[in-house]
Structure 1
Amino acid sequence: MKLVNTSVKRPVGVIMIVLAVIALGVVSVRSLVIDLFPKIDLPVAVVATNYEDAAPEEVENLISRPIESSVSSVEGIETVQSQSQSGASLVLMMFKNGTDLDQALLDVREKVDQIKGALPERAGDPNIMRFSPEQMPVMWIGLTGKEPEALTKIADEQIVPYFERQGGVASVTVEGAKEREIQLILDQAKLQQYGVSPQALVESLNSSNKSVSVGQIDKGNQDLQLRVTGEFESLEDIERTIIQTESESTIHVEDVAEVKDTFKEKSSEVLVNGKSSMVLSIMKKTDGNTVDVAKNIRSGMEDLNKELPDDVSLDVVIDTSEFIQMSIDSVVKNILIGGIISVFVLLLFLKSIRATVVIGLSIPIAIIATFALMYFTGETLNVLTLGGLALGLGMMVDSSIVILENVYSYRQRGYSLFESATKGASELAPAVIASTTTTLVVFLPIIYVEGIASDLFTPLALAVSFSLITSLVVAVTLVPMLSSKLLRKVIDKDQGRRYWFDRFLGRVNNGYQRVLKWVLKHRKTTVGGTLIAIVASLALTPFIGAEFIPASDQGQIEIRVETAPGSSLEHTEAITEKVNKKLTKYDETTEMSFASVGTDDLGMGSSVNQATFTMQLIPSSDREKTTKEIVQEMDKDLQTIPGAEITVSSMDSGMEMGDPIQIQLKGTDHKVLTELADQIVTNISKVKGVYNPESAASEGVPQMTIEIDEDKAAEYGLTEEQITNQIQLQFTGQLATQYREEGEEMDVTLLYPEGERSSINDLEGMNIQSQSGASIPLREIANLKEIQGPVTLLRENQQPQMNVTSDIVDRDLMSVVGDVEAELDQMNFPEGYSYQIGGQAEDMTESFTDLALALVFSIFLVYAVMAIQFENFLFPFIIMFSMPATVVGVMVGLFVTDLPLSIPAFIGIIMLAGIVVNNSIVLVDYINILKRRGMNTYEAILKAGPNRLRPILMTTLTTVLAMVPLGLALGEGAEMQQPLAITIIFGLTISSIFTLLLIPVVYTLFDDLTKKMTRRKKKKTVE
């Protein structure tokens, strides 16, 4: 080939190109974004709306339903889900894969704007946003030391602005901060004495707290702007604000209210390692590098700690980059180990340090070139792309081995260095290109795969493809060039070395010849034995099971504490303290923990009866128990705490994949759905492997409903809205105006004394003021009734829904789902009510279906490439018989290692479709060459088999042994690549054995069949 001749003739040019590629690769790898997993494309949009103090039913009817109806017509929407709870609505829109989410968000915003005017006045503006797993914080930092008020000021003025200036940081959120507020504590008796209503107070404050432009006048050649200034400049200004009474007299605010400069009532509390604290959540930019952002923040912390007061400190609570860095380091370490093993195998077979160097140099050059290609295609450096490189590592040398062996054979026959390099490389370059192509084409059907499987498969496929393409280029350019320079003394110096390995190979070759003769004599037995082995391996399927994505032992644990609905923050804090005491038992295995009492998730409001603990364990290599084992032990210990429902779960996937099992109940009535959900929780709790099943329909929040008698209210000249506003002012307060001080803006809020707004008696004894100034007891114009209201109302596609979720332990996902469905099928669902399995189970089924389709297309493409290569339809068909035997290796490998079938394992099967045929191509191609030289089929097979055993062993061992470190799951985060590695190791090993024995038998069977058909045609022609 011209490319080979050019590379050998111009070594300086090749070396310069290689150096340029190395330089480009080094720059690229420094610029690659490092992350744990590839970017998961979740085309989801969210509309969050606050509707303070509204019950879930009211939120559903007045907020969620109108928004659902308006956005349902947006193009590309697959599912619309809504979640309505007290005071807030959340509407999620899931779009079809491939939807332009930027345009979709514009369409959603337009639809929401059209119905915004129809929403209640008290409802906040809908907040429309894109949902992404990248919205999770990369770090949590604890701020401890002084009083919360002082810490809040330090955080707002020093820390947050400083961190937000660091490279890659998008935003910093503070939890546990105190928010300053000016409170006007109303004196009800004095209000009545002076005949002043709270509304009059609000109007006076607003009219007095204004600065407005009133025009302009001329002053010589200048225009002077006229501006009336009247904004409050001090608390005294607020106290001295004049109020006009009904009797036309004037009083001041201080006459009817006490002005207090204080902080808003806390609805949450943050604890770091059991101590009251504040936590800063660091969010990175979309294109930010998690590891670099974490480094920048840590560097900034060192500078800040020097400037902060001595009794204030910043400490890292959780740093997600640590696990990413450890995972990447472990994969790189495994790649290096695999590379060393591959080089050692080459050294054994080639018996030459020089020859090994020729091939060994192709590995780092191909890897570095791959990094450059990954950078220009926008791929990240993660455990999957590095896993692809580890897989490609063993396959990288395959092409180089074939080329070098042929060059070496020419050298042994006495050809010059130049002739050996050019003839040897040119002769086999087409075959090498064809065999590499069969491996590459299996990745083309990725276009048919959607969802998470595509997000995971595509980067891996690109990494392997890039590594194979670069290794192919190296094999046909660099290897011949280096061979022409380094193989000068290879014949004299290295001949006769390592006799022990030559003798070992000789025994293996002799044994193979004997077995080959036997299988050729017992062809039916061989084929029958193969079929039995395949069927027997398929029988292992029930014992293997399946799961979606292998969980990584990240060492992160989440503990959710939920006290009785309606519990006070103080009560929840008391339960949290009990949990903290129990957790001291695990101090030796815990690096850091923080608890958030009273949550505020995605604008869904605060829940003072809930607390969430997030714990970071020490690395898995430093502890004896896995995270899941610790989770189960913690769960058992914490269940002894009365007064709360406590759930312990691991956060080990590193990817937001949802619950393993999610049962979606659909029907027409929320109450019936709630009853069904409770029944399902009871039933599936008996299924082995189901862990912590729970219903979204938790116990209702105690509610006091106020049913206003409109007729009676009208008699006093009152409307329902006026009564509602007065009740809301009494028990919630009312924002009157804003007060600015030194650039800080804070609320001025009207409140009644806490003793007048905390009990049922306060509500029952409340007086409503009429337009005439008369006071009417609330009980005269309204009925009070205490009920249990729902916590959350769910809907999907404008139909009521209820979810039951569960984690799994000690069993694979598919087996558990099968048993859960069996339990559900035994239940009698009312007419119009049904269930659907969602969560990871649904994603797993969809992904496996897509990957199965990709596998079918991959096999077809491999056949098509071989048909083109051989210019024959029969020989590719013979070679394809090496594929069914792969099933034996895959099933035995997963069974022996006790790993369920998962997406990485399935991807490994697809890749095997392109890998396993390479050995068969080498064997069948040589058999055909020998037949063309005049040998009969039997003689050609007996000579071709032993002759090609050595290169087949070399290519198989380098690929398999390079994957062994990944197969052993050494280091942090290796669980993701383990199924892929095990599939390749066992599948390729067993397939190679069948290739060496079954393919010759199949070849003879088809050869006999061809001869029979040829004889029949001749007979018909003669007749």
Structure 2
Amino acid sequence: MGSLYRYPRLIILLLLLIMVAGSAAITTMPRLEDPHMENRVAFVITRFPGASAARVEALVTEKIERKLREVAEVDDISSSSRVGLSFITIEMKDEVEDVDRVSALLRDKLAELTDLPEGAADPVYDDDRLYSFTAIIGLVWHGESAPNYAILGRHARELDTRLSNIPGTDFVRTFGLPSEEIAVTIDDDMLAAMGMSALDVANRVFAADSKNSAGTLSGEDNRYVISVDGAFDSLERIRTIPISTNADTGIATLGDVAKIERTHRDPPDSLAYLSGDYGVVVAARMLEDNRIDGWMEKVQSMLDSYQATLPENITADIIFDQAQYTHQRLSDLMQNLIYSAFIVIIVLLVTLGWKASFIAGSILPLAALASLAVLNLLGFQIEQMVVTGMIVALGIMVDNAIVVTDEVQGRLLRGERRSQAVARTIRKLWLPLMGSTVTTVIAFMPIILMPGNAGEFVGGISASVIAALITSYIISFTIIAAMAGRVLTRSDPVQDATQGQHHSRTWWRDGVDAKPIRLAFRRSLHWSMNHPRASLLIASALPLMGLLLASTLDEQFFPPADRDQFHIEMTLPAQASIEETRQLVEEVHARLAEDPDLLSAHWYIGQSAAKFYYNLLTNRDGAANYAQAMITATSPAAADRMIGRYQDRLDRAYPHVQTLVRKLEQGPPYNAPVEIRIHGPDIETLRELGEQVRRVMASVPSIIHSSTSLEVGRPEITIVPNERAAATLGIDLRMIADQIRAAVDGASGGSIIEETEDVPVRIRTSNEGRTSLEGLRALELVPGISNREADGSFSSVPLTALARLEVKPSVGSIPRRNGERINTVQGFIPPDILPETAFAEVNKRLDAANFSVPPGYSIDYGGESEERNEAVGKLMAQAGVLGVLMVIAIVLTFNSFRLAAITFASAIQAAGLGLLSLWVFGYPLGFVVIVGLMGLIGLAINASIVILSELKNDPAAMDGDDEAIIHAVMSTGRHIISTTLTTVGGFMPLILSPSSFWPPFAVAIAGGALFTMIVSFYFAPAAFKLMLGRKSQSRQDELASASPDLLSRAGE
């Protein structure tokens, strides 16, 4: 590598290569707000209309779960069996990399299901809910009239098509559009006059929809597929279906006796209420290998042309644009990167002088560009973690360049020839700096090797740092060393003495020479050498204090996001209808609209909101009593003010509603920050245990709302028939259920296929049994065929003549986890309360209440606590193997176990100093802090290796000479101080950032690095001297034991 000094043109070509490759990476790398994570979560949704939660669990959920469990890559299966709906969440193992293959296996298992009950729909496999949408567009209906969803639906489908056709679009989904259907409404009296029931009509309509194949005609020469013409393709076709034949009136068609219209299901499944008007939401997601700014430009261009096709009372507006947040996030981080680089350059100028600072500082753009080129080749995107990794690397990547530049400069000032100074510097430093680089790389390896989404989320930090470390090492020993040899000033001591020349020291040329500080530093080192054991104890005091204080630090998995958005979730009692939820949303929105801090509020009724942030959960399908709002404030500070204010106002105004005003969080998602799960077989016992825990949880002041996942108490109307009376009319219990369902929900009668859509035909009667209990009581039942007149006519029977109606409480939702029934008690907290604090208080009160579960039941914990423990466990899983590799690297660097032990002792103390820094600044201990401590350990090892290598290469120091040890330590002082100050300076923008995410991380590394200088200067040299003393004593003991032998042999 030293030969590069002789080829300046090669240096220029290498510089050009780095600049071109780095610039190309900046131009072509995809840009995202958050890291891309593998989609290891999927959902299976199965509708079973009219079935109770218990029937859904037994007949649908359990069977699907059993089938899914056959796939070995499945880790956890959670489910919720609700009235008419089975919702199953599948989590794959973290080790799964080929997600598409596992998804194909799961789909195959679902296709094998043959024993689902009649009336249950086919299970729908949905694996498109993990990622947030890139653009969310609202189609809003304006005007006094009620929204026409047929028109809105037509325009929404057109917008869906246009978005899908934009290059780079991954997925498009529509929200708030009620299901479309063909409604066939028949008058009860007319049905009775024809001697038919609604089920009879539905069966005839269904029989007229000839979509089935009529077989295949195979001859010797030809093969023909046979079909019967008459499949439903229009409303007119449905109107012409013959329903009954009468000798007097002839053939009656469906159009003669029923009102047939295209409409939307009533009540609707879901609605969208967008800033005070109803509409439809169309959300699109970009492929992760695209640049978000370029893709959004295409979306905006398409939307401009699409607006011209809309009627005056419909507008299409972008209600969420992720590109704005991505640009803001990356701009802030890039600004921090520039500030950090500027601070690093200033530090280098002060400590090294302008020439040396220029050379050492040139590593920053070169290593940054080279790192981006490497990351681009490895398929990374430019997102917040990658950019943060570059900021972290700023203070680290300059270390090698400082050491190399300082060494070359020292040799040149001692009169060595330029080529000789470069060659000897490389020969001396390549191994110890490789050792320090390798150990720092290993320190960051657990992050990038960590499996699962948590590892993928923060892995960009590790990837950036590792790329920067490796490229900076290579560049330092090639380009930087060659530049230093050519640019730095050389002195010739002999010639200067002959000519009487003396170069006076100036700070801007040679760096600051703080003589009083230098003398005081030397005196302190003298004291340390004279009292090595006391020096060890004093240097270890602060790290030990940090390790002891670590147990007093609050714990926080990930801090909340700093964003001008938050969300509101409102859950009404389980029996609430979507109409009641809609009225609540309108009233709440009217209250919130008066707030000057509010920019927009978009509500989703009956389902989860379109995912506008990466860790929001979207698992509330078919929840008529649920609404969620995406709230955008005028600023992040305004959002923080609004959260507490809204929570208080809405709780007081609507005490019967569970209202959660929630700040957006970082890290893996969870349903509630505090969760206690109770496992067991019996629903009633689970309910009682869950209610005990919930009461205790509700007594904790920091818990603002609590709930249980096992919903018991939902009103259910039970029909209790008189079987004997029904049997005399030829009516069995199944006929009663079928006729009531046809009256309440309508009966299916085929479907119209339009392009790729299947629009169902629903036959229903015009009575009021569909909407009120009184109408249900007045429902007329049709007797069996055997009890009708010869001409088919009949006398209907009131339902109340054959049965009584009872309203009973029932189970609204039955949750399960990995095949067991569970009841999860959830606690929700204000944003200024740490989950771990609330969790500890809940556990304390449960212990005080002597809460326990009976045999056959168990308890475990979810929420933030579970996610944190799992993530930290995965992070530390590789620590053992990587620790051994680190030991190997250091032992090979020094060829000494004792020096390696001193290095590792310094590393452990550095971790203690990082924890002490957290305690001083009052930050909690979180996942990103642990990541930072790993990086700090690498930095501490670097400093120890530099000092111990200098001591090991000095024969006098190896003989235990105090002056030699002091001289060696002081000779490394300038670049140790320079590298430490550049590290601290590089993190200053993150430390001073208004964000709540990065300051704890930056304080742990920067504060720990600053304190670690004490360990580097007063622990490592003192330990080195004591090691030599023990080694010398050991040799003397060996010689003493050998002396009698030698004397006796001499006497012989």
Whether these two folds match at TM > 0.5 is yes
Q: Does 1:553 align with 2:566?
A: no
Q: Matched residues in 2 for 1:500 and 1:215: separation?
A: 94
The change in CA–CA distance for 1:928 and 1:279 in structure 2 (over 3 A counts) is same
SS class of match (2:398)? helix
Q: Kindly provide the CA deviation profile for residues 459-493 of structure 1, in whole angstroms up to 9, marking residues without a partner as x.
A: 32221111111111111111133234433689999
Moved more, 59-68 or 735-744: 735-744
Task: Kindly indicate whether the alpha-carbon contact (under 8 Å) linking 1:440 and 1:914 is maintained by their aligned counterparts in 2.
Answer: yes
The change in CA–CA distance for 1:294 and 1:759 in structure 2 (over 3 A counts) is same
Q: What residue in structure 2 maps to residue 901 of structure 1?
A: 925
Q: Matched residues in 1 for 2:422 and 2:885: separation?
A: 32
SS class of match (1:548)? coil
Paired residues for 1:890-969 under 5 Å: 890-932=914-956, 936-969=960-993
User: Aligned AA for 1:380?
Assistant: Q
User: Aligned AA for 2:30?
Assistant: V
The change in CA–CA distance for 1:922 and 1:173 in structure 2 (over 3 A counts) is closer
Q: What residue in structure 2 maps to residue 814 of structure 1?
A: 836
Q: What residue in structure 1 maps to residue 774 of structure 2?
A: 761
User: What is the percent sequence identity of the aligned residues?
Assistant: 22
1:283 to 276, 282, 285: 285
Task: Kindly indicate whether the alpha-carbon contact (under 8 Å) linking 2:448 and 2:456 is maintained by their aligned counterparts in 1.
Answer: no
Q: What residue in structure 2 maps to residue 192 of structure 1?
A: 192
The change in CA–CA distance for 1:501 and 1:455 in structure 2 (over 3 A counts) is same
User: Aligned AA for 1:304?
Assistant: Y
Q: Kindly provide the CA deviation profile for residues 97-135 of structure 1, in whole angstroms up to 9, marking residues without a partner as x.
A: 213543433433343333x2211121111122436621x
Give 1:84 shift.
Answer: 0.2
SS class of match (2:853)? coil
SS class of match (2:954)? helix
Q: Does 1:1014 align with 2:1035?
A: yes
The change in CA–CA distance for 1:321 and 1:891 in structure 2 (over 3 A counts) is same
Q: What residue in structure 2 maps to residue 686 of structure 1?
A: 699
Q: Matched residues in 1 for 2:639 and 2:513: separation?
A: 43
Q: Kindly provide the CA deviation profile for residues 228-254 of structure 1, in whole angstroms up to 9, marking residues without a partner as x.
A: 654567645544432234879532324
Q: What residue in structure 2 maps to residue 633 of structure 1?
A: 645
Q: Does 1:162 align with 2:170?
A: no
The change in CA–CA distance for 1:132 and 1:708 in structure 2 (over 3 A counts) is same
Give 1:150 shift.
Answer: 6.5
Q: What residue in structure 2 maps to residue 37 of structure 1?
A: 34
Q: What residue in structure 2 maps to residue 613 of structure 1?
A: 629
User: Aligned AA for 2:856?
Assistant: G
The change in CA–CA distance for 1:505 and 1:742 in structure 2 (over 3 A counts) is closer
Q: What residue in structure 2 maps to residue 671 of structure 1?
A: 684
User: Aligned AA for 1:790?
Assistant: V
Q: What residue in structure 2 maps to residue 359 of structure 1?
A: 360
The change in CA–CA distance for 1:410 and 1:306 in structure 2 (over 3 A counts) is farther
User: Aligned AA for 1:71?
Assistant: L
User: Aligned AA for 1:343?
Assistant: I
User: Aligned AA for 2:599?
Assistant: E
Question: For the aligned residues, what is the CA RMSD?
Answer: 3.3
Paired residues for 1:571-590 under 5 Å: 571-586=580-595, 588-590=596-598
Give 1:211 shift.
Answer: 8.0
1:748 to 758, 761, 765: 761
Q: Matched residues in 2 for 1:743 and 1:947: separation?
A: 77
Q: Matched residues in 1 for 2:873 and 2:216: separation?
A: 74
User: Aligned AA for 1:630?
Assistant: M
Q: Kindly provide the CA deviation profile for residues 731-789 of structure 1, in whole angstroms up to 9, marking residues without a partner as x.
A: 11122233468998643321211534322222222222121334333234434221122
User: Aligned AA for 1:965?
Assistant: P
Paired residues for 1:218-233 under 5 Å: 229-230=229-230
The change in CA–CA distance for 1:230 and 1:919 in structure 2 (over 3 A counts) is closer
Q: Matched residues in 2 for 1:334 and 1:495: separation?
A: 37
Task: Kindly indicate whether the alpha-carbon contact (under 8 Å) linking 2:447 and 2:931 is maintained by their aligned counterparts in 1.
Answer: no
The change in CA–CA distance for 1:395 and 1:216 in structure 2 (over 3 A counts) is closer
Give 1:688 shift.
Answer: 5.1
SS class of match (2:567)? strand
Paired residues for 1:864-875 under 5 Å: 864-875=888-899
Q: Alignment length, in residue pairs?
A: 1007
Task: Kindly indicate whether the alpha-carbon contact (under 8 Å) linking 1:554 and 1:654 is maintained by their aligned counterparts in 2.
Answer: no
Q: Matched residues in 1 for 2:359 and 2:681: separation?
A: 72
User: Aligned AA for 2:628?
Assistant: T
Moved more, 755-764 or 924-933: 924-933
The change in CA–CA distance for 1:68 and 1:246 in structure 2 (over 3 A counts) is farther
User: Aligned AA for 2:15?
Assistant: V
Q: Matched residues in 2 for 1:78 and 1:214: separation?
A: 45
Q: Matched residues in 1 for 2:150 and 2:79: separation?
A: 40
Q: What residue in structure 2 maps to residue 339 of structure 1?
A: 341
User: Aligned AA for 1:55?
Assistant: S
SS class of match (1:599)? coil
Give 1:51 shift.
Answer: 0.6
User: Aligned AA for 1:430?
Assistant: L
Gaps of 5+ in 1: none
User: Aligned AA for 2:463?
Assistant: L
Q: Matched residues in 2 for 1:52 and 1:605: separation?
A: 14
Give 1:429 shift.
Answer: 2.6
The change in CA–CA distance for 1:548 and 1:224 in structure 2 (over 3 A counts) is closer
2:604 to 596, 599, 606: 596
Q: Matched residues in 1 for 2:978 and 2:508: separation?
A: 18
Q: Matched residues in 1 for 2:755 and 2:432: separation?
A: 77
The change in CA–CA distance for 1:710 and 1:365 in structure 2 (over 3 A counts) is farther
Paired residues for 1:42-121 under 5 Å: 43-99=40-96, 100-114=98-112, 116-121=113-118
Q: Matched residues in 2 for 1:341 and 1:797: separation?
A: 53
Q: Kindly provide the CA deviation profile for residues 171-211 of structure 1, in whole angstroms up to 9, marking residues without a partner as x.
A: 33233335554322211112111223334433443455548
Q: Does 1:738 align with 2:762?
A: no
Q: Matched residues in 2 for 1:375 and 1:658: separation?
A: 36
Moved more, 415-424 or 865-874: 415-424
User: Aligned AA for 1:464?
Assistant: V
The change in CA–CA distance for 1:59 and 1:241 in structure 2 (over 3 A counts) is same
Q: Matched residues in 2 for 1:231 and 1:859: separation?
A: 70
Q: What residue in structure 2 maps to residue 142 of structure 1?
A: 138
User: Aligned AA for 2:768?
Assistant: G
User: Aligned AA for 1:813?
Assistant: P
Give 1:333 shift.
Answer: 1.0
**TM-score between the two structures when normalised by the length of structure 1:** 0.91
Task: Kindly indicate whether the alpha-carbon contact (under 8 Å) linking 1:600 and 1:606 is maintained by their aligned counterparts in 2.
Answer: no
Q: Does 1:8 align with 2:29?
A: no
Q: What residue in structure 1 maps to residue 853 of structure 2?
A: 829
Q: Matched residues in 1 for 2:745 and 2:882: separation?
A: 64
Q: Matched residues in 2 for 1:150 and 1:904: separation?
A: 49
Q: Matched residues in 2 for 1:703 and 1:222: separation?
A: 59
Give 1:338 shift.
Answer: 0.6
Task: Kindly indicate whether the alpha-carbon contact (under 8 Å) linking 1:707 and 1:782 is maintained by their aligned counterparts in 2.
Answer: yes
Q: What residue in structure 1 maps to residue 613 of structure 2?
A: none
Moved more, 283-292 or 385-394: 283-292
Q: Kindly provide the CA deviation profile for residues 552-603 of structure 1, in whole angstroms up to 9, marking residues without a partner as x.
A: 22232221222333333333222222211321343x3233220122226878
Q: Matched residues in 2 for 1:262 and 1:324: separation?
A: 40
The change in CA–CA distance for 1:557 and 1:1019 in structure 2 (over 3 A counts) is same
Q: Matched residues in 2 for 1:669 and 1:858: separation?
A: 47
SS class of match (2:121)? coil
Q: Matched residues in 2 for 1:906 and 1:214: separation?
A: 67
Task: Kindly indicate whether the alpha-carbon contact (under 8 Å) linking 2:928 and 2:1001 is maintained by their aligned counterparts in 1.
Answer: yes
Q: Matched residues in 2 for 1:728 and 1:314: separation?
A: 39
The change in CA–CA distance for 1:179 and 1:662 in structure 2 (over 3 A counts) is closer
Q: What residue in structure 2 maps to residue 308 of structure 1?
A: 310
Q: Kindly provide the CA deviation profile for residues 714-733 of structure 1, in whole angstroms up to 9, marking residues without a partner as x.
A: 44333333222211111111
Task: Kindly indicate whether the alpha-carbon contact (under 8 Å) linking 1:885 and 1:994 is maintained by their aligned counterparts in 2.
Answer: yes
Q: Matched residues in 1 for 2:769 and 2:201: separation?
A: 19
Q: What residue in structure 2 maps to residue 183 of structure 1?
A: 183
Q: Does 1:402 align with 2:406?
A: no
